[in-house]
Amino acid sequence: MSDLSPASLFVAGSASVRPLGHFGRAVLRCPAASLDLVAERLGIVLPREACRSAIEADVAALWLGPDEWLLLAADARDDWVATLQARMGDAVCSLVDVSHRQVALEIADGRVTAETLLASGCALDLSLRAFPVGMCTRTMYDKAEIILWRRAPDRFHLETWRSFARYVEGLLHVAETEA
C-alpha cells in the first residue's frame, strides 16, 4: 500500500484536532434514474436528502450535490474503487478514486468546542440545531475548500485536499491556542 499518512504540522499537541488515518475515497456522479440500481449493486445507501450522509457496510456516502456523493471507507485497500466499479457493471455513472487527493482531520470538543474552532474560518452556522449529526457539506475554511461532516454532537470529520492540509491544521491550531 502507498504511504497515505496525512500531511500534518502537529500530529500530537492538540486536544481538539487530530489527523485521521487512511480512507478510501471515491466521487460518485450518478443520475437520479440510476440511483436505486447503483446503490443495490454497491451495497450502500445513497442519501437522497441534500447535505446528508448515510453509513452502511463500513462505507459512508456523503451527499455533495444533486448527482454527487463522496464515498468514504476507512482503511480501504488500493483496489477498493476498482472493485466498486466492477460491481456497478453497465450502470450509467461515474466513479473516480480520489483517495490520494484528500486527507481527513477530526475536530472534537476539547478545551474549546469544535464549533468554536471551526467558526474561526468557516461562515456556516455550525450549531447542533442548524448543522445536526449526519449533516455534511462542501464549504470553505478560510481560503481552503473543505468537506465538513458532523459525526457526533461534539465531533466533526473534515476532508481537505492534501495540499491544503498543513494550512488548515495550522489555522485550527492557532484558533485553538487563541480561544
Write out the chain's pLDDT in tens, 179 residues. 455 554 443 455 688 999 998 899 999 999 999 999 999 999 999 999 999 999 988 899 999 999 999 999 998 888 999 999 999 999 999 999 999 999 999 999 998 999 999 999 999 999 999 999 999 999 999 999 999 999 999 999 999 999 999 999 999 999 999 88
- This prediction's pTM: 0.90
Return the CATH superfamily for domain 17-21+101-178.
Probable tRNA modification gtpase trme; domain 1 (3.30.1360.120)
Range(s) for CATH 3.30.1360.120 in the chain? Answer: 17-21+101-178
Show the cell assigned to 16: 481538539
Closest of 63, 60, 61, 59 to residue 51, by C-alpha: 63
Q: Which CATH number fits domain 23-97: 3.30.70.1520, 3.40.630.180, 3.30.410.10, 3.40.630.10?
A: 3.30.70.1520
Burial class (CB in 10 A: 0-12, 13-18, 19+), 20: middle
Start-to-end CA distance of the chain, whole Å, equals: 39
